[in-house]
Amino acid sequence: MNSVKWLIRILLVFYLSHFSFPADTISLHHFIQDNNHQVIVSSGNTFALGFFSPGSSRNRYVGIWYHQIPDKTVVWVANRDNPIKDTSGILRIDGRGNLALFHKNQTLPVWSTNISTAGTRNSVAQILDTGNLVLVQNDTREAVLWQSFDHPTDTWLSFMKIGFNLRTGLNQVYSSWKSPDDPGVGNYSLKMTQGVSPQMVLYKGSNPLWRSGTWTGKRWSGIPQMTQNFLFRDSFVNTDDELSFSSDAKNASLITRWVTKETGVTQRMIWNNEAQSWIINAVPTEQCDFYGYCGPNSYCNPYLGDFECTCFPGFDPNHPKHGT
Ligand SMILES: *[C@@H]1O[C@H](CO)[C@@H](O)[C@H](O)[C@H]1NC(C)=O
Ligand SMILES: *[C@@H]1O[C@H](CO)[C@@H](O)[C@H](O)[C@H]1NC(C)=O
Ligand SMILES: *[C@@H]1O[C@H](CO)[C@@H](O)[C@H](O)[C@H]1NC(C)=O
Ligand SMILES: *[C@@H]1O[C@H](CO)[C@@H](O)[C@H](O)[C@H]1NC(C)=O
Ligand SMILES: *[C@@H]1O[C@H](CO)[C@@H](O)[C@H](O)[C@H]1NC(C)=O
């Protein structure tokens, strides 16, 4: 009899410790530890947040990945330039109400949402089905104190933006990993440029490699693929408060991401569930897309057979014909 009681007691403790708190939330009392392989999962099971090691590395990072896609596909990394070398990491709400990543040997956090949170100690971090990690005040759940969508790494998801919040100074930039083994800030970045004709530019360091062309009202002039846009709702905002672009899947069940890669391309991918693989649509796709390929006084026409630079009247081409 006694052993049955004990068993029930143990099961109850197990049940309470594992299932009694919302599995999508980290709070002052419910943190996640790398040692215990703990993760939080968004309410619709779309995204998970936890500790991972990229590629063949043994370093530990906190990241967000698709919960239902077999190969762990990471869409955001917290401590991208500050790996933890062992599995003693703890992600919790600290005494100031920030979400912070600690290592057992250190009192200062390895990473933190690091906002001033005077009087907001009652905060919780929640992973949403969009892939956004939000820090909110538990009582109201309304005002977002911090969100991962404002601090992108290499992956642009639906409902994220590229560009500037001109009131707060926030600039949303997508920068490549260093390598598949190292999510640290790499050499390639996709940014919005300010000025008379804003556009998206892919840089290697400070050198532009590709540009989107200007906004025509419906699409970027340099991305003709955008004309048949059945899948995405594109929106370009250019006001006193904001200069941004977003491209959201019209159907929320479409799994899609736009990644700026360490190989020097920026590519949108769509998950094909039947094939269990990503369909890739990358730029620069063609020679024509490389910044300056044709020189400033000509234009590139990919439909002439080979990529061909056609000069504006009175100019000679830089590269008369590709491959000849
Ligand atoms: C958050 O609010 C809920 C509902 O009011 C409450 O049950 C819970 O204990 C709170 N959690 C924290 C960490 O304050
Ligand atoms: C943490 O501290 C322990 C004991 O002081 C030490 O043995 C270990 O190497 C330290 N780990 C790291 C990653 O610094
Ligand atoms: C938090 O912000 C302060 C001031 O900007 C900075 O000095 C500090 O390094 C940051 N800490 C973390 C953990 O990011
Ligand atoms: C970034 O570019 C510099 C200069 O070309 C190069 O030395 C460095 O190895 C590159 N870094 C990565 C992570 O590829
Ligand atoms: C969205 O996509 C799902 C899965 O492909 C499909 O079943 C559903 O009908 C689509 N919804 C709309 C409104 O197109």
Neighbour count for residue 91 (Cβ, 10 Å): 25
> Best mutation site among 231, 248, 251 for ligand 5, i.e. most ligand atoms within 8 A of its Cβ?
251
Q: What is the pLDDT of residue 305?
A: 37
Of 205, 167, 190, nearest to 245 (Cα)?
190
Mean pLDDT (whole number) for 70-77? 94
Q: Mean pLDDT for the chain? A: 82
From atom 13 of ligand 1, which residue's Cα is the shortest distance away? 27
Mean pLDDT of 227-246: 87
Q: Do residues 100 and 90 make contact, with C-beta atoms less than 8 angstroms apart?
A: no
Whether residue 287 contacts residue 205, with contact meaning beta carbons closer than 8 Å, is answered with no
Instruction: Select 1-146's CATH number: 1.20.1730.10, 2.90.10.10, 2.40.50.180, 3.40.640.10.
Output: 2.90.10.10
CB 32 within 8 A of CB 56: no
Q: Which pLDDT score is estimated for 303? A: 41
User: What class has domain 152-291?
Assistant: mainly beta
Dihedral sign of CA atoms 146, 147, 149, 152 in order: positive
Our answer on whether the CB atom of 112 is closer than 6 Å to any ligand 3 atom is yes
Q: Which residue has the higher pLDDT, 289 or 265?
A: 265
Q: Cis peptide leading into 284, omega within 30 of 0?
A: yes
- How confident is residue 28, by pLDDT bands cut at 50, 70 and 90? confident
Q: In which band, very low, low, confident or very high, does the pLDDT at 317 lie, cut at 50, 70 and 90?
A: very low
Q: Is the pLDDT of residue 297 over 70?
A: no
Name the DSSP letter for residue 1.
Answer: -
Taking the centre of ligand 1 as the mean of its atom positions, its distance from the CA of residue 9, in whole angstroms, is 25
1-146 and 152-291 have identical folds: yes
Tokens of 136: 């909110």
Give the pLDDT confidence score for residue 321 in this predicted structure. Answer: 40
The CA-based angle 42-68-181, given to 5 degrees, is 95
So what's the pLDDT on residue 277?
Answer: 87
Please report the pLDDT score of residue 273 as a whole number: 85
Distance in Å, CA 252 to ligand 5 centroid: 8
Q: Are 264 and 283 in contact (CB under 8 A)?
A: no
- pLDDT for 117 equals 65
Higher pLDDT, 213 or 155: 155
pLDDT given for residue 272 in this prediction? 86
Spans of all domains in the chain:
1-146, 152-291, 292-324
Most confident of 70-74, 142-146, 298-302: 70-74
Greater pLDDT, 231 or 317: 231
Q: What is the distance in angstroms between the CA of the first residue and the CA of the last residue of the chain?
A: 88
What per-residue confidence (pLDDT) applies to 311? 43
Amino acid at 68: Q
Q: In the predicted model, what is the mean pLDDT of residues 117-135?
A: 86
| DSSP, res 27 | -
Instruction: Give pLDDT, residue 93.
Output: 92
Per-residue model confidence as pLDDT tens digits over 164-210? 999 999 999 999 999 999 999 999 999 999 988 899 999 999 998 88
Which pTM value belongs to this model? 0.81
Query: ∠122-27-105 over CA atoms, to 5°?
Result: 110
- Tell me what pLDDT residue 140 has: 73
Cβ(193) – ligand 1 distance below 6 Å: no
Q: Are 64 and 148 in contact (CB under 8 A)?
A: yes
pLDDT at 290: 43
